[in-house]
Structure 1
């Protein structure tokens, strides 16, 4: 390689990616996107068509797995042949609206949110229908719209890409792989090199964690960012407001650590210029924070000391619909009086221990519910959470918050490691933001605390989604 100029070596990954995409484009259909307006409140919601867009890149999906059989998400959308009612394509997903309607604000007012439904462009008119879970956790149709791919009002202007995608990992044609797109927000022109370094560093960490480590060859990873005038994104609770390309910000739903963009149009207008099935947004901020919506996107503060954990934890929400297993941190959501069985794969209401969804991993001698040092843990958490609130209220340096997190991690590891049920799969009470009534499968997991490991149940759930998007189903591998 010494005889090859450095500029050519730098271009090699992009050239390989271009060849791969070109080969893929010959057979893949185009990508159609239906943008939807979703509005309402805690009691009712409504849908309206915003626009239909023909994206500039071919469909990146796996033609062998058009139908989603994982039963994940608050919603599912289906593309249906209106003549035969045959489902041609389906995917489960969740929405920002679905989360917002569980907040106190949704009890008092209505709001609207933007959402997108992406699928391979059909050859003839289709019906797109949105399904939503009912009180029995079953899906039922709540809205539908007929889409003619040849309609004159479909937006298909070919604008120049606002930035050049970077091939972080290119393992083959998109149709055979999971395409993960890492977007940057809050990076100035001078910081684009930092964005690429952040994207590479965090992608490398993701693929050091099981089961992503074992399935790394099933992923392509791309990176894309439009430079911003100012460094970092908005954090309203501290009076910080920045104009960023994706309008990502902290303090979503009043939670200082919750980071999302509510500007779906800006997100999709940029993401369409790189192959993508899953998106993680890196915000160029030091303050701890992130967020994740199944089937939409996830976020992480790239410059925080806990960025590795944030990237993986939030991606778990977005990629595999994993529920939060912690319950001692304050959240914006209000708990209902009922305790239905959650649809998320990693938490349970344990209504019938004999039918526990992860029963195959539970030893016959393991009691259900499974004892753990819950009282001692909660006593420590009350003190720890008070310190955390005080640090934020005083706007102390982020290094002090990181030190507090490190101390909490050491305490939790020591407390759990000496308990006889540590490492067992069972049903440990405390999950889904609730101290009682919901259970997680293991004492520790990335979805419960800042540990580096997903529990076995979460690993299985992640593997199911990898199988859905990359190649053959697990059963036939």
Structure 2
């Protein structure tokens, strides 16, 4: 295994056919504030152990995704060297009730290929008009004395799950385990392989499977599983991943960004999905940061793909009848997410290229019947959680709900129409989704046309076709 790993890792990051990749720079900083104010403070600059995994021909991000944008510019000339859109845990917390009462700080990081000269790192934030403006800048000399250049030995070696070529030509996905004991490492590997296989059975990942490398990495824990505070379960784990984030029982994240980055740096990666060793339904996804999924849940396949959709492509949640931790409401601004719209101008809806002439916008659908059934379903779901019933009962309820939705939608003439269906982005009114049903709407099995196209755009940003000889 060690010899095979060394060969594969060499293939992934130092292919001789490519120019030598620069080192990977990571800037760790603190993002703090409350509902009305926010601040940034530099923590440290790190040179990671592995070369930059990305394509040096695609350093500028023109996808216009994310609440934030990082730009790296030449300190003297101001020339843009690198950019990437992303979102943050802080931004989600900022919309919670707690943020109106206290200040909190969250660790964040941005990574970029090492420049050969001093640079200025800029963090931009999207304003109410959807435009980016600079909110923080830091001058960075990656050759300065206080830059961290030496890392401890890798605590564990990454497992090659799927390797299709050199990292600079591929999207590198790292699957990280949390809550797995030393005796459960084989279980983690099996889960990583199973869920990766499922991801690449779902379009458009299926058609683009050769554009990805997949790695797996996990530090063993003393106890099996991660914390679920609402039920009195508290486990120590390397990444601190837990349920009940922001008071939502199904929301799973880690707020220990430093622990995550210090482990992930020992594998080539651009995207991360954390598998938690739990059977309770739950997950989460932050664009450009990471996603999570409960590996042992009956709906793990769905969770893995749905949450990866958030993290990988910045897809919005299209559902709106489930309670969420963050505040919604207020003015219906046009979302930056590619699969939701406030429909200010129906004639120029953002996914116009997919809408057939004559399609009504907004597009009618059995909304009242759906919402009536959903209210009853959500009431039953809340009762099961409150009574701490077995997870099998929750899974059965999910199957019943999906079956009812499928039957209801199957009779509608717009079942497969691309239009503008009211109800999305956690709101029953004022926001619209592209199709009646999608993985981002319910626990169905396929992405709608608009989501699939949005995913393809990100794949194109990170992968390159092989050179024909």
| TM-score (normalizing by structure 2) | 0.97
Is structure 2 residue 345 aligned with structure 1 residue 352? yes
Matched position secondary structure for 1:193: helix
Q: Distance in 2 between matches of 1:366 and 1:154?
A: 57
Matched position secondary structure for 1:145: strand
Q: Which structure 2 residues correspond to residues 183-194 of structure 1 after superposition, within 5 A?
A: 183-194=176-187
1:359-414 CA-to-partner distances (Å, cap 9, x unmatched) read 11111121000000000000000000000000000000000000000001100111
What is the aligned partner in structure 1 of residue 267 from structure 2?
274
Q: Which structure 2 residues correspond to residues 369-448 of structure 1 after superposition, within 5 A?
A: 369-448=362-441
Q: Distance in 2 between matches of 1:468 and 1:418?
A: 39
Q: Distance in 1 between matches of 2:420 and 2:19?
A: 49
What is the aligned partner in structure 1 of residue 286 from structure 2?
293
Are 2:47 and 2:149, in contact at CA under 8 Å, matched by a contact in 1? yes
Q: Distance in 1 between matches of 2:354 and 2:23?
A: 42
Are 1:187 and 1:232, in contact at CA under 8 Å, matched by a contact in 2? yes
1:45-85 CA-to-partner distances (Å, cap 9, x unmatched) read 10000111110000000111000000000000000012111
CA 1:469–1:19 in 2, change beyond 3 Å: closer, same or farther? closer
Matched position secondary structure for 2:15: helix
Matched position secondary structure for 1:51: strand
- Give 1:34 shift: 0.2
Say what the alpha-carbon RMSD is for the aligned residues: 1.3
- Give 1:19 shift: 3.8
What is the aligned partner in structure 1 of residue 32 from structure 2?
39
Q: Distance in 2 between matches of 1:20 and 1:397?
A: 43
What is the aligned partner in structure 2 of residue 461 from structure 1?
454
Are 2:11 and 2:166, in contact at CA under 8 Å, matched by a contact in 1? no
- Give 1:22 shift: 3.7
Matched position secondary structure for 1:127: strand
What is the aligned partner in structure 2 of residue 214 from structure 1?
207
Matched position secondary structure for 1:129: strand
Q: Distance in 1 between matches of 2:442 and 2:82?
A: 36
- Give 1:462 shift: 0.3
Is structure 2 residue 190 aligned with structure 1 residue 197? yes
1:215-259 CA-to-partner distances (Å, cap 9, x unmatched) read 000000000000000000000000000011100000000000000
Are 2:126 and 2:132, in contact at CA under 8 Å, matched by a contact in 1? yes
Are 1:78 and 1:91, in contact at CA under 8 Å, matched by a contact in 2? yes
Q: 2:253 aligns with which of 254, 260, 267?
A: 260
Q: 1:99 aligns with which of 92, 107, 122?
A: 92
- Give 1:21 shift: 3.0
Q: Distance in 1 between matches of 2:190 and 2:254?
A: 23
1:162-193 CA-to-partner distances (Å, cap 9, x unmatched) read 10100000000000000000000000000000
1:443-464 CA-to-partner distances (Å, cap 9, x unmatched) read 0000000001000000010000
Q: Distance in 2 between matches of 1:175 and 1:21?
A: 7
Structure 1, unpaired ranges of 5+: 1-7
1:310-352 CA-to-partner distances (Å, cap 9, x unmatched) read 0000000000000000000000121242111111000000011
- Give 1:26 shift: 6.4
CA 1:351–1:272 in 2, change beyond 3 Å: closer, same or farther? same
Q: Which structure 2 residues correspond to residues 19-418 of structure 1 after superposition, within 5 A?
A: 19-23=11-15, 27-418=20-411
Instruction: Please list every run of at least 4 consecutive aligned residues from structure 1 whose deviation after the TM superposition is greater than 2 angstroms.
Output: 10-26
What is the aligned partner in structure 1 of residue 445 from structure 2?
452
Q: Distance in 1 between matches of 2:209 and 2:400?
A: 32
- Give 1:13 shift: 5.8
Q: Distance in 2 between matches of 1:292 and 1:447?
A: 12
- Give 1:42 shift: 0.9
Are 1:181 and 1:276, in contact at CA under 8 Å, matched by a contact in 2? yes
Q: Distance in 2 between matches of 1:345 and 1:193?
A: 38
Is structure 2 residue 9 aligned with structure 1 residue 17? yes
Matched position secondary structure for 1:128: strand
CA 1:63–1:393 in 2, change beyond 3 Å: closer, same or farther? same
Matched position secondary structure for 1:461: helix
Q: Distance in 2 between matches of 1:35 and 1:424?
A: 45
Q: Distance in 1 between matches of 2:448 and 2:332?
A: 23
CA 1:14–1:167 in 2, change beyond 3 Å: closer, same or farther? farther
How many residues get paired? Answer: 465
- Give 1:107 shift: 1.2
Are 1:64 and 1:471, in contact at CA under 8 Å, matched by a contact in 2? no
Are 2:107 and 2:257, in contact at CA under 8 Å, matched by a contact in 1? yes
